[in-house]
Structure 1
Amino acid sequence: MGPPPYLLLLAVSCWSCAPALATRSTVAPAPILHYPCSHYSSKSCEQCLTNVSCLWCYTNKTCMDYPVRSIFPSSSLCTLSDVRWGFCWMNFEVFIITMSVLAGALLLSVGICCCYCCYCRKNSRRGLDAEEERFIAEREDRRVQALKRKNERKAKHDEIRKKYGLLQDLEHPYSKFEND
């Protein structure tokens, strides 16, 4: 008994498609040319900021590499109010202030959320503790009432036994053996 027909069909179709797949060629996209930032110095701010590693100085209209070693560009290169990075319409000073305010607002909101959650958890625990105490008190009341009813029933049954002479004297040590 040979292989199932569907396996033969699959093998033949793969074998017939293999030459077609081998002849296909994929065209690689043309590499994007990145010029150094100094290349854009004589051009506009928009052209300079197409490269994210560049910053534009409006005072001397130059495009320069962002100083990666320091967080902020030094004032010897250009004043912060004249530096543009990311957007030509926003100077770096405003950008720093905006990011600082947003980061502060984010941290403040996280802190407020944490405090609120802790406060809610504490209040919910108080509510649970009060509810648990109430539940325990109710359970104890039910137990006491059940014990009271049990004693009342026992007293009533003993009364009936005494009436009909069925109550045995438990104080007499040989009362168990008298019935034999």
Structure 2
Amino acid sequence: MDYPVSRILPPSSLCKLSSARWGVCWVNFEALIITLSVVGGAVLLAVAVCCACCCCRGKRSRKPDKSEERAAREREERRIRQEERRAEMKSRHDEIRKKYGLFKEENPYARFENN
């Protein structure tokens, strides 16, 4: 019987899908559909994996974005302010120690040398 060219799949009134053939007698139409869907799915999966890898690699190799640069700048500014506060507090504490005579001299035996 000739293949009905007006349709891709033959109507079920002519024959079952498992007995339909495509082009030549040895190509089972049902096996052809399954094979093409598996190959198509594998190709789509491979393309998706490649796109994901390219996107991830691009994000890692790029220079830091504005938010990362801003965060680093703010951390550095906080560190500098903290060091300034520490130095200021140390100088205040040293003044108070001098005022009350609690300042530790660099040479603990200097008192004895003055006598």
TM-score range, shorter chain: 0.3 to 0.5
Q: Specify which structure has the higher proportion of helix.
A: 2
User: What is the TM-score of this pair, normalised by structure 1?
Assistant: 0.35
Asked which structure has the greater RCO (Cα within 8 Å, sep 6+), the reply is 1
**TM-score normalised by structure 2 residue count:** 0.48
Structure index of larger Rg: 1
More strand by share: 1
